């Protein structure tokens, strides 16, 4: 078991980070999706990777958790700026190169790091997202459930709405209600901004476009992971993304959805990532 160490990093914004393991070990930077706090990557997940010989860092994006809240209209930013935030974290920890692992929007950020900052990464793992071809929307029935969740800033009152969303996003794996509840509670216990839909993270991705040509030129060892039962991003789309990238591997995890509130799925996911990290 490793003690976690918190660190605030200030560049254009202030970013909350937390690390696990020995700083002398190869670094692994975990990048969340839109609207997700650092603790999307649970402590057991981080510790599992750290125990295998990696220095693990998780962090809150700007506009999430304890990192800076931004007035997007006055200070708009792009998802490329969020990739620069990741580089700033590596700089602050004096890390020359790191493995990067990103989920959803975080997977897009990981791909951008492979394109624009290849000298800073050892490998790139992208989960549950595709950045090639035309964008696609989740089924309307899924969006109907997600958009019914309107936080009121009262955790107890809001929890049922979040749980309905997590059940839809969790795939066919049995949802661990304790994991899902703890994740939701973190929104309320560690948040500068009000708890709401992550509109700034959604808006910052609107100008990204198709990054196929950039990905074709990457040489970073890459892993693309899909949830077999992901209702937000189909495995076929993730596979298409992986086929664009040289030196890439694709894995679909049975029963996994866009979220993974299930300890068995979480360990399977960690071990899938470790298989790539340990064999470079």
Q: What is the pLDDT of residues 140-163, one digit of tens each?
A: 889 899 989 999 999 999 999 999
Would you say domain 5-138+197-277 falls under CATH 3.40.50.1820? yes
Q: What is the mean pLDDT of residues 9-24?
A: 94
Residues 251-256 have a mean pLDDT of 98
Inter-axis angle of helices 155-169 and 177-189, to 10 degrees? 130
The pLDDT of residue 11: 77
**Mean pLDDT of the 194-217 span:** 93
130 and 241 in contact (C-beta within 8 Å)?
yes
**E strand or H helix that includes residue 7:** strand 5-10
- pLDDT, residue 184, reads 98
Residue 243 has pLDDT above 70, yes or no: yes
pLDDT exceeds 60 at position 40: yes
CA nearest neighbour of 87 among 141, 9, 35, 153: 9
Taking the C-alpha atoms of residue 231 and residue 182, their distance in angstroms, rounded to an integer, is: 23
Q: CA 111 to CA 95: how far, in whole Å?
A: 19
pLDDT(107) > 80: yes
Distance of CA 139 to the CA centre of its chain: 22
Residue 185: how many CB atoms within 10 A of its CB? Answer: 15
According to DSSP, residue 256 is labeled B
Task: Specify the pLDDT at position 209.
Answer: 85
The band of 137, judged by pLDDT with boundaries at 50, 70 and 90, is: confident
CB atoms within 10 A of CB 166: 22
Calculate the average pLDDT of the chain.
Answer: 95
- The C-alpha angle 161, 163, 169, rounded to 5 degrees, equals 110
Asked whether the predicted pLDDT for residue 1 surpasses 80, the reply is: no
Q: Percentage of the chain surpassing pLDDT 70?
A: 99
The count of other CB atoms within 10 Å of the CB of residue 216 is: 12
- Please list, residue by residue across 62-77, b when 16 or more beta carbons sit within 10 angstroms of its beta carbon and e when fewer do: bbbbbbbbbeeeeeeb
Task: Assess whether pLDDT exceeds 70 at residue 103.
Answer: yes
Give the helix ranges, DSSP H, for the chain: 43-50, 79-92, 105-116, 140-147, 155-169, 177-189, 199-204, 212-216, 235-244, 263-277
Res 237: pLDDT: 95
Map out the domains of the chain as residue ranges. 5-138+197-277
Taking alpha carbons only, the member of 207, 208, 276, 202 closest to residue 242 is: 276
Of the pLDDT bands very low, low, confident and very high (cuts 50, 70, 90), residue 135 is low
Q: Output the CA–CA distances (angstroms, integers) from residue 173 to 6, 170, 212, 235, 272, in the order listed.
A: 32, 7, 32, 16, 17
Q: Decide if pLDDT at 187 tops 70.
A: yes
pLDDT of 91 above 90: yes
- pLDDT band for position 2 (cuts 50, 70, 90): low
- Res. 138 pLDDT band, cuts 50 70 90: confident
6-30 mean pLDDT: 95
Q: Which of 46, 44, 42 lies closest to 27 in space, CA to CA?
A: 46
pLDDT at 163: 97
**pLDDT tens column, 23-35:** 999 999 999 999 9
Spatial distance between the Cα atoms of 69 and 228, rounded to a whole number of angstroms: 34
């Amino acid at each position: 078991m490793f003690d976690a160490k918190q660190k605030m990093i200030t560049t254009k914004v202030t970013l909350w980070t937390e690390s696990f393991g020995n700083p002398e070990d190869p670094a692994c930077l975990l990048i969340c999706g839109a609207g997700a706090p650092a603790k999307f990557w649970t402590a057991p997940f981080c510790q599992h990777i750290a125990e295998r010989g990696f220095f693990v860092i998780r962090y809150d994006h700007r506009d999430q958790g304890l990192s800076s809240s931004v007035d997007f209209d006055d200070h708009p930013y792009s998802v490329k700026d969020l990739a620069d935030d990741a580089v700033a974290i590596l700089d602050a920890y004096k890390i020359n190169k790191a493995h990067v692992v990103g989920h959803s929007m975080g997977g897009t950020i990981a791909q951008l790091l492979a394109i624009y900052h290849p000298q800073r990464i050892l490998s790139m793992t992208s989960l549950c997202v595709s950045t090639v071809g035309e964008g696609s929307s989740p089924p309307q029935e899924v969006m109907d459930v997600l958009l019914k969740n309107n936080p009121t800033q009262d955790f107890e009152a809001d929890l049922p709405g979040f749980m309905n969303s997590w059940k839809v996003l969790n795939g066919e794996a049995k949802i661990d209600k304790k994991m899902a509840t703890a994740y939701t509670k973190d929104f309320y216990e560690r948040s500068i901004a009000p708890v709401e839909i992550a509109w700034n993270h959604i808006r910052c991705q609107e100008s990204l476009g198709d990054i196929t040509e950039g990905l074709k030129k990457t040489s970073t060892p890459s892993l693309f992971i899909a949830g077999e039962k992901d209702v937000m991003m189909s495995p076929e789309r993730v596979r298409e993304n992986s086929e664009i990238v040289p030196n890439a591997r694709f894995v679909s995890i049975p029963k996994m959805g866009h979220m993974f509130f299930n300890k068995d799925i979480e360990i399977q996911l960690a071990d899938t990532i470790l298989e790539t990290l340990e064999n470079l």
